[in-house]
Structure 1
Amino acid sequence: MSGFRLYFSYLSMLFRSQMQYRASFLLLTAGQFFIPFAVFASLYFLFERFGQLQGWSFYEVALIFAVIHLAFSIAECFARGFDMFSSLVVSGDFDRLLVRPRSTIVQVLGSQFEFTRFGRLLQGAIVLAVALINLPIAWNAAKIATLVLMIACGVCIFAGIFVLFATMCFWTVQGLEVANVFTDGGREMAQYPLDIYKRWVTVFFTFVIPFGCVNYLPMLFLLDRADGPAAAYMAMPLAGVLFLVPCVLVWRLGVRHYRSTGS
């Protein structure tokens, strides 16, 4: 519980510090709200031109789009410390975290928050609401729980990628730009149904980085397209948690082998 209190203390302090420059905060938040609409607009014009995408309607794909963008926005807001972790290694500030009697994970999470990502989060929420209003989904407790799991476990996948590539900084010092292939690239890929891609792409993003398990497969259950036990599709998003666990274990291994940069 002390770890949670520490985390929320970091959260409160950084939020108050960012709100000292309210005009800047509001402008950046507005930018995060409007800029991603270009991506959604391209999705809209794609369906305006072709009508459907391999049997998927615009609002069905909009629901997939909203889920993955909500998950990415939450992860980018609250797990940003790992995305920017290389700066702590380069400056030697990570040494200070090691001598404190608290978890390094909590401290790195609390080192950086991107509250301006609330703009992107709001955009995703609006797209989600529009999609749900226009889709004839017969909602029940199971489907509501599945939708919540999809978003929460999507956050776990993005956070896991941040943690994994932050760990690489223990050996490379500088952050690796290849991480963007799996964060930004994964987000762009997962905003469409997986069955439109080649088989190897589908396999990789289902069994290695399980975006398909938190978005595409449970979406089949929500849309009553599932071919098999409903419980299996409902449990699919938990693959995101299973992905995060080894990422955290790799992090702990990296911490044990860390050697200070001497900065």
Structure 2
Amino acid sequence: MRIVRLYFRLLGAHLRALLEYEADFWILAAATVLLQVINIAFLAALFAKVPDLNGWTFWAVVMMFGLVSFAEGFGSFFFEGLWRLAWQINTGELDYFMVRPYPVVLQASSADIGINGLSNIVMGGSMIGVALAHLSVAWSPWRVLSGVFLLASAVVIKVAINLATNSVSFWLESSIPVFALAVHQAGDLARFPLSIYPLALKAVLGFVLPFAFISFFPVAFLLEEGSAPWIGLLTPLVALYCLTTAFSIFRRGLRRYESAGT
């Protein structure tokens, strides 16, 4: 509990610093909301021309968009510091973290806060709620509980992938997380049904970089759609695997960290 309390105190310090510039806060929040509105407008224009995407309706895809946005928002708001890891390694700033009595990975992840993440959480949650209101889901206590676990697992998968890909910076010399940014962009493919992609891309999004477990498989399970909706129940196991792998990569990278050399 002490570790959790300190983590939120660190985030709170960054949040207070950001709120000193209120105009920046509102502009960034508005820009994030506008981006999500543009995404929905794009989907509406797409489905105005086609009745479905390989059997998936407009509201099912909206829910996938919402899950991706919610997971990205959660990761940005609470773990934005991971995107500074390459800079911290390159400049030797990580030295300060290593001599403090607090886990290095948590210091790194709480080194910044993404205000845009808050907008993504709100917009993503809104898209999920509106989509569920338009979809026929056979709700039961078990399905409600499963939905909560799937949403939490989707967030863990997204954060774990961010940690793993940013930890690759220990093996690179750039102060910009190029690899992590490229993987992050690939994650946008998870906004659409996995079934529309070729087999090779399905394998990448389903197993190598399991972005499909953030959106497609949980939605398939809740709606009982697709050829194997039960795969969605594996989402918590995938989340555990991703988190374990991410921590392993980070620890290996930290052991080879050589400071800035000055």
Shared fold, TM over 0.5: yes
State the Cα distance separating 1:191 from its structure 2 match.
0.7
Contact 1:68–1:151 (CA under 8 A) maintained in structure 2: no
Q: Which consecutive aligned stretches of 4+ in structure 1 deviate over 6 angstroms post-superposition?
A: none
Give secondary structure in 2 for the equivalent of 1:20: coil
* Range with greater deviation from structure 2 (30-39 or 190-199): 30-39
1:16 maps to 2:8: no
Sort the Cα spacing of 1:115 and 1:67 in 2 relative to 1 into closer, same or farther, 3 A.
same
* Range with greater deviation from structure 2 (250-259 or 22-31): 22-31
Give distance in 2, aligned partners of 1:143 and 1:214: 17
Contact 1:81–1:109 (CA under 8 A) maintained in structure 2: yes
* 1:156-188 Cα distance to aligned partner (Å, 9 max, x none): 2222222223222223132342322321221x2
State the Cα distance separating 1:198 from its structure 2 match.
0.5
State the Cα distance separating 1:215 from its structure 2 match.
2.4
Give distance in 2, aligned partners of 1:228 and 1:51: 22
Give distance in 1, aligned partners of 2:168 and 2:182: 15
State the Cα distance separating 1:228 from its structure 2 match.
6.2
Sort the Cα spacing of 1:237 and 1:61 in 2 relative to 1 into closer, same or farther, 3 A.
farther
Residue in structure 1 matched with residue 258 of structure 2 by the alignment = 259
State the Cα distance separating 1:104 from its structure 2 match.
0.2
* 1:103-162 Cα distance to aligned partner (Å, 9 max, x none): 101111111111232112222122112211111212122222232233322222222222
1:134 maps to 2:134: yes
State the Cα distance separating 1:95 from its structure 2 match.
0.6
Contact 2:221–2:229 (CA under 8 A) maintained in structure 1: no
Sort the Cα spacing of 1:192 and 1:139 in 2 relative to 1 into closer, same or farther, 3 A.
same
Residue in structure 2 matched with residue 168 of structure 1 by the alignment = 168
State the Cα distance separating 1:195 from its structure 2 match.
0.6
Give distance in 1, aligned partners of 2:105 and 2:232: 31
Quick one: which amino acid aligns to residue 253 of structure 1? R
* 1:87-106 Cα distance to aligned partner (Å, 9 max, x none): 21232211111111211011
State the Cα distance separating 1:4 from its structure 2 match.
1.1
State the Cα distance separating 1:249 from its structure 2 match.
0.8
Give distance in 2, aligned partners of 1:218 and 1:168: 28
TM-score by length of 2: 0.92
State the Cα distance separating 1:33 from its structure 2 match.
1.1
1:192 maps to 2:192: yes
Contact 2:29–2:116 (CA under 8 A) maintained in structure 1: yes
Contact 2:76–2:116 (CA under 8 A) maintained in structure 1: no
State the Cα distance separating 1:227 from its structure 2 match.
5.6
Residue in structure 2 matched with residue 159 of structure 1 by the alignment = 159
Residue in structure 1 matched with residue 225 of structure 2 by the alignment = 225
Residue in structure 1 matched with residue 113 of structure 2 by the alignment = 113
1:182 maps to 2:183: yes
Contact 1:69–1:124 (CA under 8 A) maintained in structure 2: yes
Quick one: which amino acid aligns to residue 193 of structure 1? P
Give secondary structure in 2 for the equivalent of 1:85: helix
What RMSD, in angstroms, separates the aligned Cα atoms of the two structures? 1.9
Quick one: which amino acid aligns to residue 20 of structure 1? E
* Range with greater deviation from structure 2 (123-132 or 99-108): 123-132
* Range with greater deviation from structure 2 (163-172 or 247-256): 163-172
Contact 2:83–2:177 (CA under 8 A) maintained in structure 1: no
Quick one: which amino acid aligns to residue 223 of structure 1? L
* 1:49-96 Cα distance to aligned partner (Å, 9 max, x none): 112111111011111111121111111222211112122123221111
Give secondary structure in 1 for the equivalent of 2:178: coil
1:150 maps to 2:150: yes
Quick one: which amino acid aligns to residue 242 of structure 1? Y
Contact 2:205–2:211 (CA under 8 A) maintained in structure 1: yes
State the Cα distance separating 1:224 from its structure 2 match.
2.3
Residue in structure 2 matched with residue 66 of structure 1 by the alignment = 66
Give distance in 2, aligned partners of 1:96 and 1:200: 43
Structure 2: segments with no counterpart, 5+ residues: none
TM-score by length of 1: 0.91
